[in-house]
Structure 1
Amino acid sequence: MKLVWSPETASKAYIDTVKSCRSFKEHSGVEELLSAMAAGWNAKLIVQAWLRGEPIPTSIGLAIAARHACGRHVCIVPDEQSRQEYVEAVRAYADGSPATEVVVGEAEAAMEGLVGVDFLVVDCERGDFARVLRVARLSPRGAVLACKNACKGNVSGFGWHGALESGTRVVRTVLLPMGKGSGLDIAHIGSKGTGPPVSRKGPSRWIKHIDARSGEEHLFRW
């Protein structure tokens, strides 16, 4: 069984995220894209490795995606202080954001109980972001991994094949100039037991993103 793309579900999550996040000053457009992708791939387990101090819109978008996909959105934080800050930030969002589960712990411990991850978002400014990627227990039907702030200096030399567990089949990767120039690096991981270990070929999909502020339309080949 593989991840199956649903444009209708993606559109619903995208629109709901635009409506929910338009009031945030930190709004960058990344949250709408990630929400649409997570919902569109019908992700049942969406995991986010949150960085303390990170703006909350991405979490809102992923929670909305989980609702549309009838799945779970789990946020992992390194310590209790980060958990309190995250919960307070979400609580300040007062229009009924879908529930998010919060797991406290370092990468290995936090990811241990999260089996079958379909969609994973990490912030490259987290010191342990590479460990989170490596220890993630991905779904056998495939997964989508997204790294925020991928163009920052502290991720110099980052490569998907070196960051993931040996034998992981990376089907396609794309680096998008989003997030105020900080970059969004995305990888599609193939289902287990199908095809060659590494491939960047195959049918492409086009994802349309409209900036809620400027109205500009962007097309990304995926």
Structure 2
Amino acid sequence: MASTSSQYHKLDLVSHLFCTVYLIPISFCTMKWSPQDAMKAYLHTLQLSKIQYGQDCTLGTTKLIQPQCMEFLSALAAGNQAKVMVQVLSNEGVNPLTIALAVAAKHCGGRFICFLDQQQDIEDCTAQLSCYDLEDVVEFMHGNPCEVIIQLKNIDFAVIDCKFKDHLRLFQIIDVNPRGSIAVVTNLVRKGNGAGFGEVVREKRGIECVTLSIGEGMELTRIGVTCNHENKRFYVTSEN
């Protein structure tokens, strides 16, 4: 009985983290929303964070714990049942977000492609993921993302680092799922005439954008159809 109560408590906390802490509109649920997959990815990523950083980040308290960048994105991608996910890195290899999206792909059965800088060794990156039993989930690719990404169609979830010098070009050519997709821009440091994805595509129909103070600044943009706006909240259920 205690175990069941604890499980419902965790589910309720994850639900509140999305609806209350971040004030994310329900329309950011673009595809069929799966609270179970969102919860599994969120808790899995939290556990990996605890192992990696030695942090006490359990949800066994009544106080809402603000999720960090990677836990939030992992749950958002998995909950939206993203089938094609991409990450474009700048000049670094595997980072916490790579792990977070790999976790999401593992829980929702999606395909995850990660574009690496030419200087990054694919075998080294795969070896890093093997520490978390995620080495078979990620497809690493070399080459200019602007040239390779046009071969990918109907992308459901994209994470693009603003430190990548041609990120604005990526915003213009990326082929997102017209039935509903999410683009995430990280390291949102605005300099000169820099712009986020939402600003580049804001003239198109069906665009919603929100900027969050997560990490070094993050922008989430929803493209395409939304959930039924009559549903103002989602409910989390659990089966024993």
TM-score for the superposition, normalised by structure 2: 0.69
Query: Which whole-Å deviations, capped at 9, do the CAs of 1:139-183 have from their partners, x for residues lacking one?
Result: 121101101111x2447541445423963531x21111111xx11
Alignment of 1:160-175 (within 5 A): 160-164=197-201, 167=204, 169-170=206-207, 172-175=208-211
Query: Which ranges of 4 or more aligned residues in structure 1 deviate by more than 3 Å?
Result: 153-157, 159-162, 164-168, 201-206
Q: Is 2:177 the counterpart of 1:139? A: yes
Contact kept in structure 2, 1:107 and 1:131, CA below 8 Å: no
Structure 2 counterpart of 1:198: none
Relative contact order higher in (CA < 8 Å, ≥ 6 apart): 2
Change (3 A) 1:20 1:115: same
Letter aligned with residue 31 of structure 1: M
Structure 2 counterpart of 1:178: 214
The DSSP-based 3-state class of the residue aligned with 2:109 is: coil
The DSSP-based 3-state class of the residue aligned with 1:126 is: coil
Structure 2 counterpart of 1:91: 127
Q: Is 2:38 the counterpart of 1:10? A: yes
CA distance in 2 between counterparts of 1:53 and 1:148 reads 14
* Stretches of structure 2 lacking an aligned partner (at least 5 in a row): 1-29, 56-66, 235-240
* Stretches of structure 1 lacking an aligned partner (at least 5 in a row): 193-200, 207-222
Letter aligned with residue 38 of structure 2: A
TM-score for the superposition, normalised by structure 1: 0.74
Aligned-residue CA RMSD (Å): 2.9
Q: Is 2:87 the counterpart of 1:51? A: no
Structure 2 counterpart of 1:104: 142
1:126 to 164, 176, 182: 164
More strand by share: 1
Structure 1 counterpart of 2:195: 158
Identity %: 28
Shift of 1:129: 1.3
> Which protein shows a greater Rg?
2
Count how many residue pairs are aligned between Structure 1 and Structure 2.
190
Alignment of 1:26-105 (within 5 A): 29-53=68-92, 56-79=95-118, 81-82=119-120, 84=121, 87-93=123-129, 94-97=131-134, 98-105=136-143
CA distance in 2 between counterparts of 1:59 and 1:205 reads 29
